Structures are given as C-alpha cells and as structure tokens.
Amino acid sequence: MGDSKRQRILMVSDFFYPNFGGVENHIYLLSQCLIKLGHKVVVMTHAYGNRSGVRYMTGGLKVYYVPWKPFLMQNTLPTFYGTLPIIRTILIREQISLVHGHQAFSTLCHEALMHARTMGYKVVFTDHSLYGFADVGSIHMNKDCHQKRLVYRKGADLLVEVIPEVCRMYPNVRFIVGGDGPKRVRLEEMREKHSLQDRVEMLGAVPHARVRSVLISGHIFLNSSLTEAFCIAILEAASCGLLTVSTRVGGVPEVLPDDMIVLAEPDPTDMVQAIKKAISILPMIDPQDMHNRMKKLYDWHDVAKRTEIVYDRALKCSNQSLLERLSRYLACGAWAGKLFCLVMIIDFLLWRLLQLWKPAEDIEVVPDIVLSHDED
C-alpha cells in the first residue's frame, strides 16, 4: 500500500519458461507487474536443455538458468547443500533483499529458501495447487461441453453419462471435446455406442495458443472435475464470454460470481439439471459484458499489489539468530526436530566455510539497470 521501498526480489522455482503452465505463467506475470511497480526482479531456475546461463526477458527480467539437470518431472536433484554456492553468489551479486519461492514440488525452491534463511534473508513461499504442472490446455467448447484433460481426476466418467442424456433431451445441442489422456477411450466408446459422431466432436490435444479460438466457438463451458483447487480453465472460459457449468468441488465455488456459473453436485442427474438451467438462461448472457466484468475481477496488477503487501510484512519480521531458529526447528517433532537442526547446523557451517573461501567482497555486484518506462 502506498509507495514501499524498492525491493530486489529473487523468484526461485524449477518451473519457468520455456515450460508452459500455471506456475510458470504466475511467476512471469507477477514479475512483470512487480517490475512495473518499480521493483527489481530476478528469476532463478534450472537449465532447460541448451538454455543455460543468464537470459533477459521482457522489461529487463533477468533469468538465471542454473546448469543443473532436471532428474524427475522437471525437478532438479535434491542435494541439500549443492546449490548453496550458486545461490549465495546470486544473492550477493544482485543484492537481493527478499527471496520468493514457488511450488511445493520444486526442490530447487526449497533448497533456495533453506539457504536464504541460513544466510539471513527474508523469504516468502507460495504453494500453487497440487496439479501445477504444464497443462495440455485443451479446452473445447461449443454450445456445450468442454473438457480439459481426460483423466479420472477430471471426471471423464461423469461426462460419459451426461453427454448422451443431454443429447437426447436437446436435439440441437452439440459438444466439442478437447484434450487427450487415459480416459479418451471411454468417451470414444460412448460416442460409438450412442451414435453421436455428428454431435460430439473430439478434437484431441489442443495447443495452448489455439485454446481461445476453440473457446469462442462455444456457448457453454462444462467442467466435470472431481477434484479441483482453483481451475484456471473456468476463468479462461468466462473471459471468452462463455457461461460455465461446473461440479461443486474444491475451490470452484469461489472462482466466479454466482451469475456467471451454474454449479452442480458431481452426480450425473444433477449435472444434467444444471445444463438444463444453463441452456435456459443462455439467451440472457452477453459475452462482451462477461468479458468486461472478468477484466475487473481478476487482475495481475492487483495480485502484484497484494504480493507487495506480503513482502512488506515479511521484511518487517525480526532477524533471528541461528540459536533462536534452531529452537523453533526443534519443536517440529521428536526425531524430525533434531534432524532438521542437524541439517541447518551443517548448512550454517558450510556457509561460514564459503565465506572464508570466497569472501563476499570478491563477488562482483551487478549494477542497477533501470529500463525507461516510456519505452513500454
């Protein structure tokens, strides 16, 4: 709130461009908005194939692609102390004031946070939803159905029951199903069994860039997930002016206002009722109006401002010496507490060793380059 001091923020995660996904987008867009607010942002991630070293992205966003090979699902091998030297170097070079880690599945993030705490920096951690990996992003909508990834988590089995029923009740309703996955076979079977080839169109995997063009060809968006933390797909559909019908699971009821979404229990009959209701209120929906409302409801600059508030709070936390921190770690459990303390003590000793071996004065500090905002 107001004009806080200019911070230098290090974003750490295993997931960043050139990977595509929720976490990656979040980090990139948040960094861009923070830069516009006047802060300096540096991103640290692991190398992707040949893309290793330092790269600059839009707005002067500096990205360190640390040359560690990912070993499992885009995660670097957790070596506990292997990343300490490089993280220390980056923190000193860029004169970082705050470290922001992303995604609980990212080992690089956790290691960076641990080392940053040892070295006395303030840290912030954001845990994204459980399934934060790169989405296939296949979304199809057309006067009816939308389907994302055809895995059991997405309730493909629900769709298999709902689609024939709706097709029977409404002769002029068509479905477009996008996405690929283990349950695609079930949908194809359902299509064959009820002879719905001309009414159910299966598009297969849709690349993220084509999602919008597929979305705007539809009128209602159907989401039948059985578990969902947030569901970006619903946001994307609402931004394209589609009315959403979704299962009432997880965080879905909190995503859209009640007049933009029709909720149903994850039960075929209830979902058919919801689709009926959606079709009946469809004439009253104005896509352009919905799009304009969505622009105001979700805004990256708003997210950046709220993140700034969190950063200010974090920076106001008191500095704790090693002993005080160790007493907090000890409280974690009978055996775990002692193990954690051991890990942190070794980390501290290694840090002191590094300070003797490679003193901070020898590390070149990067001069501040502020891109003129007129050129945006």
Least Å distance, CB 256 to other proteins, is 7
Q: Is 373 one of the binding residues for other proteins (CB under 8 A)?
A: no
Least Å distance, CB 301 to other proteins, is 5
| Two tokens, residue 63 | 């990205």
Rounded Cα–Cα distance for residues 251 and 274 (Å)? 18
Nearest alpha-carbon partner for 368 in 121, 9, 37, 94: 94
Q: Which is nearer to other proteins, 151 or 297 (CB)?
A: 297
Nearest alpha-carbon partner for 107 in 149, 79, 141, 66: 79
Rounded Cα–Cα distance for residues 317 and 321 (Å)? 13
Q: Is 376 one of the binding residues for other proteins (CB under 8 A)?
A: no
Rounded Cα–Cα distance for residues 113 and 52 (Å)? 22
Q: Which is nearer to other proteins, 302 or 368 (CB)?
A: 302
Q: Which is nearer to other proteins, 33 or 278 (CB)?
A: 33
Q: Which is nearer to other proteins, 42 or 240 (CB)?
A: 240
Question: Taking a C-beta distance cutoff of 8 angstroms, is the pair 150, 188 a contact?
Answer: no
Least Å distance, CB 31 to other proteins, is 18
Question: Taking a C-beta distance cutoff of 8 angstroms, is the pair 48, 134 a contact?
Answer: no
Least Å distance, CB 297 to other proteins, is 4
| 193 HSE (CA, 13 A, CB side) | 11
Rounded Cα–Cα distance for residues 47 and 35 (Å)? 23
Q: Which helix (H) or strand (E) holds 245?
A: strand 243-247
Q: Which is nearer to other proteins, 102 or 191 (CB)?
A: 102
- Alpha carbon 189 to its chain centroid, in Å, reads 33
Q: Which x/- pattern, by CB under 8 A, does the window 248-267 give for other proteins?
A: ---x--xxxx----------
Q: Is 301 one of the binding residues for other proteins (CB under 8 A)?
A: yes
Q: Is 131 one of the binding residues for other proteins (CB under 8 A)?
A: no
* Binding segment (CB under 8 A) for other proteins, from list 10-18, 46-54, 216-224, 292-300: 292-300
* Binding segment (CB under 8 A) for other proteins, from list 154-162, 207-215, 300-308, 325-333: 300-308
- By CB under 8 A, the count of residues binding other proteins is 16
Residues binding other proteins (CB under 8 A): 230, 251, 254-257, 296-299, 301-302, 305-306, 309-310
